């Protein structure tokens, strides 16, 4: 019997499918009887030392078993004398994530035409309707670094250098993925992410895939799709790709690790060398493929080692 982790943290990255996953977690928490701890704070990912201590204290004293979720950069519980929880997360193609956020801030999603006005009431009309190509090509702050350096800090942590685009933050983020995260999936293969979460954390995610595929749940999920997205020009996309080179190095690293994990547990992945430019605008998660026979070390022993870290 695998150890049961009673403390799980999903420090969800913005615009990486987290609202879809949180919808699932609300259903699963009632179904399986774990404590889903959410936060009303959505726009404070960087914390002072005192804020880190306070949040870790609040999380650690929640009724167990719990799954805590919030948009917040990685917290090192052991640094403050706490027990390190099991971390999970999901990322996506960096340019796709940026574009989703750009239009979501301006126009919201299908849940209501006025949601975006509530979310960004102080945004001036000329800013709301700013053409994405103008923003990128004329180097507006929203479309240039350091704002484009977004995914890596969620894994690097709270150190000030984690906010600076560069090798230091990239390598620290990779190290944390290896040492502190049970699973980091990619949104483009969400069904496989859910399959692995069900395998690794059945007390939390049992039956998650059948719930996700339920037509009624799909209707709810479709309401969280960002509206009024437009495609930037090839020139603008190429500039974004260059500005996000560290984000892409991290994304490809996570993707490779995720595919290794899929293979380990019998899910096929078509491994191929990264293209010189990323694939954009994948319309839907890839279908889960048939398992393959593969001689691997005992997967339960591997999972037990993860829990003991």
Residue 289 domain-assigned (yes or no): no
State residue 156 phi and psi, 5-degree precision: -70, -45
Catalytic residues: 71
In a domain, residue 292? The reply is no
pLDDT at 299 over 60: no
Domain membership of residue 48 as a residue range = 5-266
Give kind and range of the element (H or E) at residue 304.
helix 299-308
- Domain-embedded: residue 291: no
Rounded to two decimals, what is the model's pTM? 0.84
184: domain CATH number is 3.40.50.300
- Provide the domain count of the chain: 1
β-pairing verdict for 7-10 and 66-69: parallel
Q: pLDDT tens-digit profile of 209-220? A: 999 999 887 766
In-domain check, residue 104: yes
In a domain, 100, yes or no: yes
Among 38-47, 84-93, 111-120, the range scoring the smallest mean pLDDT is: 111-120
The answer to whether residue 155 is domain-embedded is: yes
pLDDT digit string, tens, across residues 144-167: 999 999 999 999 999 999 999 999
Cα 23 to Cα 77: distance, rounded to the nearest angstrom:
26
> Is the model more confident about 228 or about 54?
54
Q: How confident is the model at residue 284 (pLDDT cuts 50, 70, 90)?
A: very low
The verdict on residue 271 lying in a domain is no
* Residue 303 belongs to some domain of the structure: no
């Amino acid at each position: 019997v695998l150890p049961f982790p009673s403390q799980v943290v999903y420090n969800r990255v913005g615009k990486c499918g987290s609202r879809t996953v949180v919808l699932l977690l609300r259903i699963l928490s009632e179904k399986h009887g774990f404590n889903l701890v959410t936060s009303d704070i959505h726009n404070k990912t960087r914390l002072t030392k005192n804020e880190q201590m306070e949040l870790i204290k609040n999380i650690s004293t929640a009724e167990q078993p719990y799954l805590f979720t919030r948009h917040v950069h990685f917290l090192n519980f052991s640094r403050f004398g706490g027990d390190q929880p099991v971390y999970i997360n999901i990322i996506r193609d960096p340019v796709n994530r940026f574009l989703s956020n750009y239009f979501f801030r301006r126009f919201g999603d299908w849940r209501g035409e006025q949601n975006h006005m509530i979310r960004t009431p102080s945004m001036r009309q000329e800013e709301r309707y700013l053409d994405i190509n103008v923003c990128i090509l004329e180097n507006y702050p929203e479309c240039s670094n350091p704002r484009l350096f977004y995914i890596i800090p969620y894994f690097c942590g709270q150190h000030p250098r984690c906010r600076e685009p560069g090798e230091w933050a990239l390598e620290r983020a990779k190290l944390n993925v290896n040492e502190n995260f049970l699973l980091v999936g990619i949104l483009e293969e969400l069904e496989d992410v859910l399959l692995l979460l069900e395998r690794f954390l059945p007390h939390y995610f049992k039956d998650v895939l059948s719930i996700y595929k339920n037509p009624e749940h799909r209707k709810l999920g479709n309401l969280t799709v960002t509206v009024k997205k437009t495609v930037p020009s090839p020139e603008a996309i190429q500039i974004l790709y260059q500005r996000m080179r560290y984000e892409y190095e991290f994304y490809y690293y996570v993707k490779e690790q995720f595919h290794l994990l899929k293979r380990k547990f019998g899910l096929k992945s078509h491994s191929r060398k990264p293209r010189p430019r990323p694939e954009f605008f994948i319309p839907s998660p890839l279908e889960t493929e048939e398992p393959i026979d593969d001689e691997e070390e005992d997967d339960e022993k591997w999972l037990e080692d993860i829990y003991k870290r």
